[in-house]
Structure 1
Amino acid sequence: MIAKPPIVRVNRLFKSFSRGSEAINVLTDLTLDVPQGEFLALMGPSGSGKTTLLNLIAGLDQPTQGEIWVGNELISALSESELARWRTRNVGFVFQFYYLLPVLSAYENVELPLLLLPMTAAERREQVDRALDLVGLSNRKSHRPGQLSGGQQQRVGIARALVTDPTLIVADEPTGDLDSKSADEILMMLNVVREQLNKTIIMVTHDPKAANQAQRTLHLEKGKLVRDESMPRPIMQPARV
Protein backbone atom coordinates (compact mmCIF):
# COMPACT_ATOMS: atom_id res chain seq x y z
CA MET A 1 0.00 0.00 0.00
CA ILE A 2 1.30 3.46 -0.91
CA ALA A 3 1.65 5.68 2.15
CA LYS A 4 -0.55 8.77 2.14
CA PRO A 5 1.35 12.07 2.06
CA PRO A 6 1.27 14.09 5.28
CA ILE A 7 -1.27 16.91 5.59
CA VAL A 8 0.44 18.09 8.79
CA ARG A 9 4.22 18.32 9.14
CA VAL A 10 5.80 19.41 12.41
CA ASN A 11 9.57 19.92 12.31
CA ARG A 12 11.88 20.53 15.30
CA LEU A 13 9.12 22.21 17.31
CA PHE A 14 9.83 24.01 20.57
CA LYS A 15 7.35 25.89 22.75
CA SER A 16 8.09 27.67 25.99
CA PHE A 17 6.28 30.12 28.24
CA SER A 18 7.71 32.73 30.56
CA ARG A 19 6.96 32.66 34.27
CA GLY A 20 8.62 35.74 35.64
CA SER A 21 12.27 35.42 34.67
CA GLU A 22 11.96 31.64 34.21
CA ALA A 23 11.30 29.93 30.86
CA ILE A 24 9.00 26.90 31.11
CA ASN A 25 9.62 24.41 28.29
CA VAL A 26 6.34 22.79 27.20
CA LEU A 27 7.42 21.12 23.93
CA THR A 28 11.00 20.17 23.10
CA ASP A 29 12.38 19.30 19.66
CA LEU A 30 9.19 17.58 18.50
CA THR A 31 8.84 16.25 14.95
CA LEU A 32 5.86 14.37 13.49
CA ASP A 33 3.82 13.86 10.32
CA VAL A 34 0.06 13.31 10.12
CA PRO A 35 -1.14 11.73 6.85
CA GLN A 36 -4.22 12.99 5.06
CA GLY A 37 -7.33 11.25 6.38
CA GLU A 38 -5.77 9.91 9.58
CA PHE A 39 -7.55 9.82 12.94
CA LEU A 40 -4.76 10.57 15.42
CA ALA A 41 -5.03 10.55 19.23
CA LEU A 42 -2.67 12.47 21.51
CA MET A 43 -2.29 11.10 25.04
CA GLY A 44 -0.17 11.89 28.04
CA PRO A 45 -0.37 13.05 31.65
CA SER A 46 -1.47 16.57 32.57
CA GLY A 47 1.30 19.00 31.63
CA SER A 48 2.74 16.70 28.97
CA GLY A 49 2.14 19.26 26.20
CA LYS A 50 -0.59 17.49 24.24
CA THR A 51 -3.10 20.35 24.31
CA THR A 52 -0.33 22.83 23.52
CA LEU A 53 0.61 20.73 20.50
CA LEU A 54 -3.04 20.57 19.39
CA ASN A 55 -3.37 24.35 19.70
CA LEU A 56 -0.21 24.94 17.69
CA ILE A 57 -1.35 22.65 14.85
CA ALA A 58 -4.75 24.38 14.90
CA GLY A 59 -3.15 27.82 14.61
CA LEU A 60 -4.37 28.99 18.02
CA ASP A 61 -0.81 29.61 19.19
CA GLN A 62 2.61 30.06 17.65
CA PRO A 63 5.78 28.08 18.40
CA THR A 64 8.88 29.44 20.03
CA GLN A 65 10.93 27.67 17.38
CA GLY A 66 10.36 25.19 14.56
CA GLU A 67 8.02 24.74 11.62
CA ILE A 68 4.39 23.69 11.29
CA TRP A 69 3.04 23.00 7.82
CA VAL A 70 -0.62 22.25 7.10
CA GLY A 71 -0.97 21.34 3.46
CA ASN A 72 1.21 23.81 1.58
CA GLU A 73 0.88 26.54 4.21
CA LEU A 74 3.69 27.27 6.67
CA ILE A 75 1.36 28.36 9.45
CA SER A 76 4.18 28.90 11.96
CA ALA A 77 5.25 31.91 9.85
CA LEU A 78 1.80 33.58 9.78
CA SER A 79 0.90 36.66 11.80
CA GLU A 80 -1.97 36.52 14.31
CA SER A 81 -4.39 38.14 11.86
CA GLU A 82 -3.28 35.81 9.06
CA LEU A 83 -3.73 32.82 11.40
CA ALA A 84 -7.26 33.96 12.28
CA ARG A 85 -8.22 34.05 8.60
CA TRP A 86 -6.52 30.71 7.99
CA ARG A 87 -8.35 29.02 10.90
CA THR A 88 -11.72 30.18 9.62
CA ARG A 89 -11.33 28.16 6.43
CA ASN A 90 -9.07 25.31 7.50
CA VAL A 91 -9.85 24.16 11.05
CA GLY A 92 -12.99 22.76 12.65
CA PHE A 93 -13.04 22.62 16.46
CA VAL A 94 -14.81 20.09 18.71
CA PHE A 95 -14.70 20.91 22.44
CA GLN A 96 -15.32 18.92 25.61
CA PHE A 97 -18.08 21.25 26.81
CA TYR A 98 -19.58 21.92 23.34
CA TYR A 99 -19.57 25.75 23.60
CA LEU A 100 -22.95 26.10 21.92
CA LEU A 101 -24.79 29.39 22.33
CA PRO A 102 -27.87 28.54 24.44
CA VAL A 103 -30.13 31.17 22.81
CA LEU A 104 -29.53 29.81 19.30
CA SER A 105 -31.00 26.71 17.67
CA ALA A 106 -28.85 23.80 16.53
CA TYR A 107 -29.12 25.16 12.98
CA GLU A 108 -27.99 28.64 14.04
CA ASN A 109 -25.08 27.29 16.09
CA VAL A 110 -23.84 25.29 13.12
CA GLU A 111 -24.27 28.26 10.81
CA LEU A 112 -22.09 30.60 12.92
CA PRO A 113 -18.69 29.80 11.30
CA LEU A 114 -20.17 30.41 7.84
CA LEU A 115 -21.12 33.97 8.76
CA LEU A 116 -17.42 34.81 8.57
CA LEU A 117 -17.23 33.67 4.95
CA PRO A 118 -18.46 35.37 1.76
CA MET A 119 -21.51 33.16 1.19
CA THR A 120 -25.16 33.71 0.33
CA ALA A 121 -27.93 32.64 2.70
CA ALA A 122 -28.85 29.82 0.30
CA GLU A 123 -25.25 28.55 0.24
CA ARG A 124 -25.10 28.64 4.03
CA ARG A 125 -28.41 26.78 4.30
CA GLU A 126 -27.20 24.03 1.98
CA GLN A 127 -23.99 23.47 3.95
CA VAL A 128 -25.70 23.57 7.36
CA ASP A 129 -28.37 21.10 6.25
CA ARG A 130 -25.71 18.78 4.87
CA ALA A 131 -23.67 18.88 8.11
CA LEU A 132 -26.70 18.27 10.33
CA ASP A 133 -27.82 15.40 8.12
CA LEU A 134 -24.39 13.76 8.40
CA VAL A 135 -24.58 13.75 12.20
CA GLY A 136 -28.20 12.56 12.19
CA LEU A 137 -29.80 15.72 13.58
CA SER A 138 -31.86 17.03 10.67
CA ASN A 139 -34.98 16.57 12.78
CA ARG A 140 -33.50 18.54 15.69
CA LYS A 141 -32.22 21.62 13.89
CA SER A 142 -34.78 23.97 15.46
CA HIS A 143 -33.99 22.75 18.99
CA ARG A 144 -31.86 24.84 21.33
CA PRO A 145 -28.97 23.21 23.25
CA GLY A 146 -31.02 22.96 26.46
CA GLN A 147 -33.51 20.76 24.59
CA LEU A 148 -30.80 18.31 23.50
CA SER A 149 -28.93 15.56 25.33
CA GLY A 150 -25.19 15.84 25.88
CA GLY A 151 -24.51 13.45 23.02
CA GLN A 152 -26.79 15.42 20.70
CA GLN A 153 -25.10 18.68 21.70
CA GLN A 154 -21.73 17.17 20.82
CA ARG A 155 -23.13 16.09 17.45
CA VAL A 156 -24.08 19.71 16.86
CA GLY A 157 -20.50 20.56 17.77
CA ILE A 158 -19.22 18.09 15.17
CA ALA A 159 -21.59 19.52 12.54
CA ARG A 160 -20.32 23.01 13.34
CA ALA A 161 -16.73 21.76 12.94
CA LEU A 162 -17.58 20.25 9.55
CA VAL A 163 -19.70 23.00 8.06
CA THR A 164 -16.82 24.99 6.50
CA ASP A 165 -15.33 21.83 4.93
CA PRO A 166 -12.06 22.31 6.86
CA THR A 167 -8.68 20.75 6.20
CA LEU A 168 -8.39 19.58 9.83
CA ILE A 169 -10.73 18.70 12.65
CA VAL A 170 -9.21 19.11 16.11
CA ALA A 171 -11.00 17.66 19.11
CA ASP A 172 -10.03 18.41 22.72
CA GLU A 173 -11.44 15.71 25.04
CA PRO A 174 -14.61 15.38 22.90
CA THR A 175 -16.03 12.56 25.06
CA GLY A 176 -14.87 13.87 28.45
CA ASP A 177 -18.32 15.19 29.47
CA LEU A 178 -20.36 12.26 28.15
CA ASP A 179 -21.65 8.96 29.51
CA SER A 180 -20.18 5.78 28.06
CA LYS A 181 -22.96 5.17 25.51
CA SER A 182 -22.90 8.75 24.22
CA ALA A 183 -19.11 8.72 24.12
CA ASP A 184 -19.14 5.58 21.95
CA GLU A 185 -21.62 7.24 19.58
CA ILE A 186 -19.44 10.35 19.24
CA LEU A 187 -16.33 8.28 18.53
CA MET A 188 -18.32 6.33 15.93
CA MET A 189 -19.45 9.63 14.42
CA LEU A 190 -15.85 10.86 14.16
CA ASN A 191 -14.98 7.67 12.30
CA VAL A 192 -17.93 8.28 9.96
CA VAL A 193 -16.51 11.72 9.24
CA ARG A 194 -13.04 10.34 8.64
CA GLU A 195 -14.21 7.59 6.31
CA GLN A 196 -16.94 9.36 4.35
CA LEU A 197 -15.27 12.78 4.03
CA ASN A 198 -11.58 11.78 4.25
CA LYS A 199 -11.09 14.28 7.06
CA THR A 200 -7.94 14.41 9.14
CA ILE A 201 -8.82 14.33 12.85
CA ILE A 202 -6.45 15.07 15.74
CA MET A 203 -7.90 14.33 19.18
CA VAL A 204 -6.54 14.96 22.67
CA THR A 205 -7.86 12.47 25.23
CA HIS A 206 -7.06 11.02 28.65
CA ASP A 207 -9.27 7.99 27.96
CA PRO A 208 -7.51 4.88 26.58
CA LYS A 209 -10.87 3.58 25.33
CA ALA A 210 -11.34 6.72 23.26
CA ALA A 211 -7.76 6.58 21.98
CA ASN A 212 -8.30 2.98 20.89
CA GLN A 213 -10.81 4.20 18.29
CA ALA A 214 -8.15 6.29 16.57
CA GLN A 215 -5.86 4.80 13.94
CA ARG A 216 -2.72 5.93 15.75
CA THR A 217 -1.88 7.17 19.24
CA LEU A 218 1.06 9.37 20.14
CA HIS A 219 2.09 9.54 23.80
CA LEU A 220 3.76 12.65 25.17
CA GLU A 221 5.63 13.14 28.42
CA LYS A 222 7.30 16.35 29.52
CA GLY A 223 6.98 17.87 26.07
CA LYS A 224 8.47 14.97 24.13
CA LEU A 225 7.02 12.12 22.07
CA VAL A 226 7.81 8.94 23.95
CA ARG A 227 5.71 6.35 22.12
CA ASP A 228 3.98 6.00 18.75
CA GLU A 229 1.38 3.25 18.64
CA SER A 230 0.95 3.06 14.92
CA MET A 231 0.21 -0.62 14.49
CA PRO A 232 -3.21 -1.31 12.92
CA ARG A 233 -5.88 -2.26 15.43
CA PRO A 234 -9.64 -2.81 15.35
CA ILE A 235 -11.80 0.30 15.43
CA MET A 236 -15.54 0.78 15.51
CA GLN A 237 -17.18 0.18 12.19
CA PRO A 238 -18.54 3.49 10.92
CA ALA A 239 -22.31 3.57 10.93
CA ARG A 240 -25.08 6.12 10.91
CA VAL A 241 -26.27 6.57 14.46
Structure 2
Amino acid sequence: MRPAIVQVRDLHKSFTRGTESIQVLRDLTLDVGEGEFLALMGPSGSGKTTLLNLIAGLDQPTGGSITVGDNVISEMSESELARWRTRHVGFVFQFYYLLPVLTAYENVELPLLLLPLTKEQRRKQVENALALVHLSDRMSHRPGQLSGGQQQRVGIARAMVTDPTLIVADEPTGDLDTKSADEILTLMEILRSQLNKTIIMVTHDPKAAARAQRILHLEKGQLVLDTAAVASH
Protein backbone atom coordinates (compact mmCIF):
# COMPACT_ATOMS: atom_id res chain seq x y z
CA MET A 1 0.00 0.00 0.00
CA ARG A 2 1.16 3.54 -0.73
CA PRO A 3 1.99 5.94 2.13
CA ALA A 4 -1.11 6.54 4.24
CA ILE A 5 -3.05 9.71 3.50
CA VAL A 6 -5.63 8.81 6.16
CA GLN A 7 -4.46 7.63 9.57
CA VAL A 8 -7.00 6.61 12.21
CA ARG A 9 -5.62 5.72 15.63
CA ASP A 10 -7.44 4.15 18.62
CA LEU A 11 -10.71 5.69 17.48
CA HIS A 12 -13.73 5.73 19.79
CA LYS A 13 -17.15 7.19 19.10
CA SER A 14 -20.15 7.09 21.40
CA PHE A 15 -23.52 8.82 21.40
CA THR A 16 -25.74 9.67 24.35
CA ARG A 17 -29.38 8.65 24.24
CA GLY A 18 -31.15 9.86 27.33
CA THR A 19 -29.03 8.60 30.22
CA GLU A 20 -27.50 5.82 28.13
CA SER A 21 -24.12 6.01 26.36
CA ILE A 22 -24.04 3.99 23.12
CA GLN A 23 -20.60 2.92 21.91
CA VAL A 24 -20.52 2.92 18.10
CA LEU A 25 -16.78 2.59 17.37
CA ARG A 26 -14.18 1.02 19.65
CA ASP A 27 -10.35 0.91 19.49
CA LEU A 28 -10.37 1.29 15.72
CA THR A 29 -7.07 1.81 13.90
CA LEU A 30 -6.88 2.15 10.13
CA ASP A 31 -4.57 3.42 7.38
CA VAL A 32 -5.78 4.35 3.89
CA GLY A 33 -3.11 4.76 1.23
CA GLU A 34 -2.93 7.73 -1.11
CA GLY A 35 -4.75 6.83 -4.32
CA GLU A 36 -6.47 3.81 -2.76
CA PHE A 37 -10.08 2.76 -3.44
CA LEU A 38 -11.37 1.30 -0.16
CA ALA A 39 -14.79 -0.26 0.48
CA LEU A 40 -16.36 -0.39 3.95
CA MET A 41 -18.92 -3.13 4.54
CA GLY A 42 -20.90 -4.37 7.52
CA PRO A 43 -24.44 -4.86 8.82
CA SER A 44 -26.67 -1.92 9.71
CA GLY A 45 -25.48 -0.41 12.96
CA SER A 46 -21.91 -1.67 12.54
CA GLY A 47 -20.50 1.87 12.50
CA LYS A 48 -19.37 2.13 8.89
CA THR A 49 -21.23 5.35 8.08
CA THR A 50 -20.13 6.81 11.42
CA LEU A 51 -16.52 6.02 10.50
CA LEU A 52 -16.98 7.57 7.07
CA ASN A 53 -18.44 10.75 8.59
CA LEU A 54 -15.56 11.02 11.08
CA ILE A 55 -12.92 10.66 8.35
CA ALA A 56 -14.78 13.27 6.28
CA GLY A 57 -14.82 15.74 9.17
CA LEU A 58 -18.62 15.75 9.50
CA ASP A 59 -18.38 14.61 13.12
CA GLN A 60 -15.71 14.44 15.81
CA PRO A 61 -14.54 11.36 17.73
CA THR A 62 -15.05 10.72 21.41
CA GLY A 63 -11.45 9.52 21.63
CA GLY A 64 -8.44 8.77 19.45
CA SER A 65 -7.13 10.70 16.47
CA ILE A 66 -7.76 11.13 12.74
CA THR A 67 -5.15 12.59 10.41
CA VAL A 68 -5.80 13.33 6.73
CA GLY A 69 -2.73 14.46 4.85
CA ASP A 70 -0.97 16.95 7.12
CA ASN A 71 -4.13 17.82 9.06
CA VAL A 72 -5.08 16.32 12.43
CA ILE A 73 -8.80 16.84 11.89
CA SER A 74 -9.79 15.29 15.23
CA GLU A 75 -8.33 18.37 16.93
CA MET A 76 -10.13 20.94 14.76
CA SER A 77 -13.03 23.15 15.84
CA GLU A 78 -16.32 22.99 13.92
CA SER A 79 -15.47 26.15 11.95
CA GLU A 80 -12.01 24.81 11.10
CA LEU A 81 -13.55 21.51 9.97
CA ALA A 82 -16.02 23.35 7.74
CA ARG A 83 -13.20 25.21 5.98
CA TRP A 84 -11.13 22.03 5.72
CA ARG A 85 -14.02 20.02 4.19
CA THR A 86 -14.59 22.69 1.53
CA ARG A 87 -11.10 22.24 0.16
CA HIS A 88 -10.28 18.62 0.93
CA VAL A 89 -13.39 16.40 0.79
CA GLY A 90 -15.75 15.53 -2.05
CA PHE A 91 -19.04 13.87 -1.07
CA VAL A 92 -21.07 11.37 -3.13
CA PHE A 93 -24.45 10.35 -1.69
CA GLN A 94 -26.97 7.60 -2.41
CA PHE A 95 -29.79 10.03 -3.23
CA TYR A 96 -27.62 12.61 -5.07
CA TYR A 97 -28.86 15.69 -3.12
CA LEU A 98 -28.96 17.85 -6.22
CA LEU A 99 -30.98 21.06 -6.04
CA PRO A 100 -33.91 20.55 -8.45
CA VAL A 101 -34.18 24.22 -9.47
CA LEU A 102 -30.53 24.39 -10.55
CA THR A 103 -28.97 23.05 -13.74
CA ALA A 104 -26.26 20.40 -13.71
CA TYR A 105 -23.72 23.19 -14.23
CA GLU A 106 -25.06 25.19 -11.28
CA ASN A 107 -25.19 22.15 -8.99
CA VAL A 108 -21.56 21.32 -9.75
CA GLU A 109 -20.56 24.96 -9.27
CA LEU A 110 -21.97 25.18 -5.73
CA PRO A 111 -18.85 24.02 -3.79
CA LEU A 112 -16.70 26.51 -5.72
CA LEU A 113 -18.79 29.45 -4.51
CA LEU A 114 -17.15 28.95 -1.10
CA LEU A 115 -13.66 29.40 -2.57
CA PRO A 116 -11.87 32.61 -3.65
CA LEU A 117 -12.21 32.00 -7.39
CA THR A 118 -13.22 34.23 -10.28
CA LYS A 119 -16.28 33.41 -12.38
CA GLU A 120 -13.99 32.33 -15.23
CA GLN A 121 -11.99 30.03 -12.94
CA ARG A 122 -15.21 28.46 -11.69
CA ARG A 123 -16.48 28.01 -15.23
CA LYS A 124 -13.33 26.18 -16.32
CA GLN A 125 -13.39 23.83 -13.32
CA VAL A 126 -17.11 23.06 -13.72
CA GLU A 127 -16.76 22.33 -17.43
CA ASN A 128 -13.75 20.08 -16.79
CA ALA A 129 -15.62 18.17 -14.08
CA LEU A 130 -18.70 17.64 -16.26
CA ALA A 131 -16.50 16.55 -19.17
CA LEU A 132 -14.84 14.02 -16.88
CA VAL A 133 -18.20 12.35 -16.19
CA HIS A 134 -19.29 12.63 -19.87
CA LEU A 135 -22.06 15.16 -19.27
CA SER A 136 -20.82 18.19 -21.21
CA ASP A 137 -23.97 17.97 -23.34
CA ARG A 138 -26.26 17.97 -20.27
CA MET A 139 -24.86 20.89 -18.28
CA SER A 140 -27.95 23.06 -18.86
CA HIS A 141 -30.36 20.27 -17.83
CA ARG A 142 -32.03 20.23 -14.43
CA PRO A 143 -32.00 17.03 -12.31
CA GLY A 144 -35.59 16.17 -13.28
CA GLN A 145 -34.47 15.99 -16.92
CA LEU A 146 -31.71 13.47 -16.14
CA SER A 147 -31.74 9.73 -15.42
CA GLY A 148 -30.67 8.42 -12.02
CA GLY A 149 -27.29 7.43 -13.38
CA GLN A 150 -26.79 10.86 -14.93
CA GLN A 151 -27.78 12.55 -11.66
CA GLN A 152 -25.19 10.49 -9.79
CA ARG A 153 -22.58 11.47 -12.38
CA VAL A 154 -23.45 15.11 -11.68
CA GLY A 155 -22.96 14.26 -8.00
CA ILE A 156 -19.51 12.86 -8.74
CA ALA A 157 -18.63 15.95 -10.82
CA ARG A 158 -19.68 18.12 -7.85
CA ALA A 159 -17.49 15.99 -5.55
CA MET A 160 -14.52 16.34 -7.91
CA VAL A 161 -14.80 20.00 -8.87
CA THR A 162 -12.65 21.33 -5.99
CA ASP A 163 -9.91 18.73 -6.70
CA PRO A 164 -10.28 17.27 -3.17
CA THR A 165 -7.77 15.21 -1.23
CA LEU A 166 -10.41 12.59 -0.45
CA ILE A 167 -13.68 11.36 -1.97
CA VAL A 168 -16.18 9.74 0.41
CA ALA A 169 -19.13 7.86 -1.04
CA ASP A 170 -22.07 6.59 1.03
CA GLU A 171 -23.95 3.85 -0.88
CA PRO A 172 -23.31 5.63 -4.22
CA THR A 173 -24.97 2.84 -6.25
CA GLY A 174 -27.76 2.01 -3.79
CA ASP A 175 -30.48 3.79 -5.78
CA LEU A 176 -29.34 2.76 -9.27
CA ASP A 177 -30.09 -0.07 -11.69
CA THR A 178 -27.34 -2.56 -12.43
CA LYS A 179 -26.13 -0.88 -15.64
CA SER A 180 -26.00 2.62 -14.11
CA ALA A 181 -24.30 1.27 -10.98
CA ASP A 182 -21.62 -0.39 -13.10
CA GLU A 183 -21.01 2.89 -14.95
CA ILE A 184 -20.63 4.80 -11.67
CA LEU A 185 -18.18 2.24 -10.26
CA THR A 186 -16.16 2.32 -13.50
CA LEU A 187 -16.02 6.11 -13.22
CA MET A 188 -14.79 5.85 -9.62
CA GLU A 189 -12.09 3.40 -10.73
CA ILE A 190 -10.98 5.93 -13.36
CA LEU A 191 -10.81 8.69 -10.73
CA ARG A 192 -8.47 6.47 -8.73
CA SER A 193 -6.32 5.09 -11.55
CA GLN A 194 -6.00 8.19 -13.74
CA LEU A 195 -6.33 11.06 -11.23
CA ASN A 196 -4.87 9.28 -8.17
CA LYS A 197 -7.93 10.08 -6.05
CA THR A 198 -8.32 8.41 -2.67
CA ILE A 199 -11.85 7.00 -2.39
CA ILE A 200 -13.60 5.54 0.66
CA MET A 201 -16.96 3.94 -0.13
CA VAL A 202 -19.61 2.54 2.20
CA THR A 203 -21.72 -0.16 0.54
CA HIS A 204 -23.99 -3.11 1.33
CA ASP A 205 -23.45 -4.57 -2.14
CA PRO A 206 -20.68 -7.20 -2.42
CA LYS A 207 -20.48 -6.64 -6.20
CA ALA A 208 -19.85 -2.94 -5.67
CA ALA A 209 -17.30 -3.64 -2.93
CA ALA A 210 -15.44 -6.05 -5.21
CA ARG A 211 -14.63 -3.14 -7.54
CA ALA A 212 -12.52 -1.56 -4.78
CA GLN A 213 -8.90 -2.48 -4.15
CA ARG A 214 -9.51 -3.38 -0.52
CA ILE A 215 -12.55 -4.33 1.54
CA LEU A 216 -12.86 -3.70 5.27
CA HIS A 217 -15.64 -5.28 7.31
CA LEU A 218 -17.00 -3.68 10.45
CA GLU A 219 -19.02 -5.41 13.11
CA LYS A 220 -20.16 -3.87 16.37
CA GLY A 221 -17.81 -0.94 15.90
CA GLN A 222 -14.64 -2.89 15.20
CA LEU A 223 -12.77 -4.06 12.12
CA VAL A 224 -13.15 -7.82 11.82
CA LEU A 225 -11.76 -8.60 8.38
CA ASP A 226 -9.47 -7.01 5.82
CA THR A 227 -9.45 -8.61 2.37
CA ALA A 228 -8.24 -7.72 -1.09
CA ALA A 229 -11.03 -7.14 -3.58
CA VAL A 230 -11.77 -9.97 -5.96
CA ALA A 231 -11.40 -7.77 -9.02
CA SER A 232 -7.89 -7.27 -10.39
CA HIS A 233 -6.61 -3.71 -10.79
Q: Give the TM interval when normalised to the shorter protein.
A: over 0.9
In structure 2, the partner of 1:234 is 231
**What does 1:90-169 align with in structure 2 at a 5 Å threshold?**
90-169=88-167
Structure 1 residue 32: Cα displacement: 0.5
In structure 1, the partner of 2:85 is 87
Partner AA of 2:154 in structure 1: V
5+ residue gaps, structure 1: none
Structure 1 residue 4: Cα displacement: 1.2
> What secondary structure is seen at the aligned counterpart in 2 of 1:194?
helix
Find the partner of 2:177 among 173, 176, 179.
179
> What secondary structure is seen at the aligned counterpart in 1 of 2:96?
coil
Structure 1 residue 233: Cα displacement: 3.5
Structure 1 runs of 4+ off > 4 angstroms? none
Partner AA of 1:174 in structure 2: P
Distance 1:233 1:154 in 2: 25
Find the partner of 2:38 among 40, 43, 53.
40
Is residue 210 of structure 2 the alignment partner of residue 206 of structure 1? Answer: no
Residues 185-239 of structure 1 show CA distances to partners (whole Å, capped at 9, x for unaligned) of 0000100111111000000000000000000000000000000013x6425x7xx
Distance 1:52 1:24 in 2: 13
Structure 1 residue 19: Cα displacement: 1.0
Give TM-score scaled by structure 2 length.
0.99
Structure 1 residue 109: Cα displacement: 0.2
In structure 2, the partner of 1:4 is 2
> What secondary structure is seen at the aligned counterpart in 1 of 2:10?
strand
Find the partner of 1:225 among 200, 223, 226.
223
Distance 1:227 1:96 in 2: 25
Partner AA of 1:34 in structure 2: V
Partner AA of 1:9 in structure 2: Q
5+ residue gaps, structure 2: none
> What secondary structure is seen at the aligned counterpart in 2 of 1:18?
strand
> What secondary structure is seen at the aligned counterpart in 1 of 2:134?
coil
Partner AA of 1:72 in structure 2: D
Residues 83-133 of structure 1 show CA distances to partners (whole Å, capped at 9, x for unaligned) of 000000000000000000000000000000000000000000010010000
In structure 1, the partner of 2:48 is 50
Distance 1:15 1:197 in 2: 32
Identity of aligned residues (%): 76
Distance 1:138 1:51 in 2: 32
> What secondary structure is seen at the aligned counterpart in 1 of 2:173?
coil
Find the partner of 2:28 among 27, 30, 36.
30
